[in-house]
Amino acid sequence: MLAPDHAKARPGVPARWRRVAALLHTGNESNMRKLLLGHGWGTESDFGILDSSKWDAFRERMIRERTLTKADFDFVQGTWDMFARLLPLVQSAYRDRRGADFEVAPNIPIGTPWGIYSGGFVPARIERQEPIGASTASIDGLHASLQHAEADFVRSLPRRRRGFKSAVPEKLVLDLGAIPQQLDEWLRFGHLHRALVDRVALLRSPELMNAMQGMESCPLETLFIPWLDRLINPRAVTTCSCGRGLFGKMGRWLFGSGTAPS
């Protein structure tokens, strides 16, 4: 088993960032299990009991060697507190979509020479997940992208585990640079996801599709799809075929390439 400081890092990610990013996943039972099993830094018994002794020894050594400092733990606790403040917003959106709150796994307090840190969680993104940034050119494509985004988001939540053995472990993304993106994903899910689902469902309705059939300049392809694509996939670069007329002007205005329509 490679220790976290010697394990292969992602290109461009400093080793120190990787250690602190790993520490971010040790303040909650769900995150800790995903981290240790996914990276081979812990084992699980047939009854689902997690052995974290190797990680615990590694953390204590990093503290003794001053590789992990009070500033690191303060930063980690502050990040946990930030996501904890957003939890009611995400729970509300989750309840709206799935009918009930998800059960949050218990936090794990961490004792250090500087006191006890209360623990917490960050989104647990796995390495194999690719960004959704691929542009979607149809309403069905937008619908599929939303479903994919919701499934990935739910998988990253600190939910209490059901049953004994964990699912097949997968490596987590250990990159502090991903935190702003993860924060954006939480805010987008809490504030925008249900509205986007409703808008895409409306545009997929047969009544609206039939009403738009035969229009000389169909706003579905020239305005609504590129606009929703930008909202669903903020990193996507969509080629908008906006041409002449009001919808063309509005499209260029919405995407920052022209003046407001008059």
Question: What pLDDT is recorded for position 114?
Answer: 95
Distances in Å between the alpha carbon of 70 and those of 5, 47, 55, 85, 151? 18, 35, 18, 22, 36
85 CB contacts (<8 Å, ≥6 apart)?
none
- Residues 6+ positions from 12 with CB-CB distance below 8 Å: none
Based on the number of CB atoms within 10 Å of its own CB, is 38 exposed (0-12), middle (13-18) or buried (19 or more)?
A: buried
- If you average pLDDT over residues 42-52, what whole number do you get? 85
Our CA angle for 198, 188, 141, nearest 5°, is: 50
Let me know: does 105 contact 162? Beta carbons within 8 Å.
no
Residue whose tokens read 């990040």: 79
Q: Are 202 and 224 in contact (CB under 8 A)?
A: no
Which helix (H) or strand (E) is 196 found in, with range? helix 193-203
Q: Write out pLDDT tens, residues 73-90.
A: 999 999 999 999 999 999
Task: Name the strand (E) or helix (H) holding 229.
Answer: helix 225-232
Q: Which amino acid is at 186?
A: W
Task: List the structure tokens of 216.
Answer: 């000389």
pLDDT higher than 80, residue 131: no
**Tens digits of per-residue pLDDT, 187-212?**
989 988 888 888 888 877 777 667 66
Q: In the chain, what percentage of residues exceed pLDDT 70?
A: 71
Q: Look up the pTM and report it.
A: 0.76
For the chain, how far is it from start to end, CA to CA, in angstroms? 65
